[in-house]
Amino acid sequence: MKRFGQIIGVDPQQFEKYKKYHAAVWPEVLEMITACNIRNYSIYHKDGLLFAYMEYIGENFAADMAKMAADPKTLEWWDVMMPMQKPRDTRADGEWWANMEEVFHLD
Amino acid sequence: MKRFGQIIGVDPQQFEKYKKYHAAVWPEVLEMITACNIRNYSIYHKDGLLFAYMEYIGENFAADMAKMAADPKTLEWWDVMMPMQKPRDTRADGEWWANMEEVFHLD
């Protein structure tokens, strides 16, 4: 299992809308996340910052992410989410949510 | 089980030191975290921001946190960590690390 921590900004003006969508994520989007071997996935907010924590239980993360990015309903979901998000200037090439560095872990 | 997401800043000048300490956390500090019913505890870094994710499996979070805050070795550890950290101005009364709001979760 591999853990991921990711960060992105959210437009404070649109946070309530973002929250409302995430209180009722479309079932097809949830099913695709699970099908792509993501487990224990949480998103937290404070001060216009979103933090995501997730655990990946598959064998090929790149292939699973490509699968997710090819799913029409997921793309439709992203089309709604992305205008509300403010990606970090420091994100790596090809990232939207920026991967963070794991500094500490205790099981 | 209750999940927590927390945020705090870290002085960029001192981040390497912070990281070095966290690569070899004192065993007594780790044992106290476990004794206080914290599991699956991770800390991530990017852009001078630290994000913590943890799961609490106990029955009385306040009591367990008080127990941790009374442990001499933990207090000694915090004395080293706190000058490197930059707490958020928006944190609640009594907080150091600021609790974030859970916006989304999928098992």
| Number of domains forming the structure of chain A | 1
- How confident is the model at residue B74, as a pLDDT? 98
Query: Of all residues in chain A, what percent carry a pLDDT higher than 70?
Result: 100
DSSP letter for each residue of chain A: -EEEEEEEEE-GGGHHHHHHHHHT--HHHHHHHHHTTEEEEEEEEETTEEEEEEEE-SS-HHHHHHHHHT-HHHHHHHHHHGGGEE--TTPPTT-SSEEPEEEEEE-
- How confident is the model at residue B55, as a pLDDT? 98
Rounded Cα distance, A4 and A17, in Å: 25
Cβ contact B43–A104 (<8 Å): yes
Cβ contact B103–A50 (<8 Å): yes
Provide mean pLDDT across the span A49-55.
98
- How confident is the model at residue A70, as a pLDDT? 97
* Residue A28 covered by a domain: yes
The pTM score is 0.97
Task: For tokens 């106290």, name the residue.
Answer: B32
Cα pseudo-dihedral A7, A62, B16, B79, rounded to 10: 60
> Whole domain around residue A36: which residue ranges?
2-87
* Residue A97 covered by a domain: no
Rounded Cα distance, A26 and B46, in Å: 30
- How confident is the model at residue B101, as a pLDDT? 98
- How confident is the model at residue A91, as a pLDDT? 98
- How confident is the model at residue B102, as a pLDDT? 98
pLDDT along chain B (107 residues), means of 10: 98 98 98 98 98 98 96 98 98 97 98
- How confident is the model at residue B77, as a pLDDT? 98
Cβ contact A22–B104 (<8 Å): yes
* Residue A92 covered by a domain: no
Residue of chain B nearest A17, judged by CA positions:
B103
Determine contact, residues B36/A106, Cβ cutoff 8 Å: no
Per-residue model confidence as pLDDT tens digits over A62-86: 999 999 999 999 999 999 999 999 9
Cβ contact A102–B43 (<8 Å): yes
User: What's at A60, amino acid-wise?
Assistant: N
Determine contact, residues A3/B42, Cβ cutoff 8 Å: yes
Rounded Cα distance, A89 and B16, in Å: 22
Give the minimum alpha-carbon distance from B73 to chain A in angstroms, rounded to a whole number.
17
**Can you read off the two tokens belonging to residue B32?**
């106290």
- How confident is the model at residue B10, as a pLDDT? 98
* Residue A57 covered by a domain: yes
- How confident is the model at residue B89, as a pLDDT? 98
Give the minimum alpha-carbon distance from B57 to chain A in angstroms, rounded to a whole number.
12
Residue of chain A nearest B37, judged by CA positions:
A107
- How confident is the model at residue B93, as a pLDDT? 97
Q: What's the Cα-to-Cα distance from A104 to each of A81, B23, B25, B91, rounded to whole Å? A: 30, 7, 9, 22
User: What's at A41, amino acid-wise?
Assistant: Y
* Residue A104 covered by a domain: no
Q: What is the CATH number of the domain that holds B54?
A: 3.30.70.100
* Residue B95 covered by a domain: no
Cβ contact B88–A18 (<8 Å): no
Per-residue model confidence as pLDDT tens digits over A33-47: 999 999 999 999 999
* Residue B103 covered by a domain: no
* Residue B104 covered by a domain: no
Determine contact, residues A89/A95, Cβ cutoff 8 Å: no
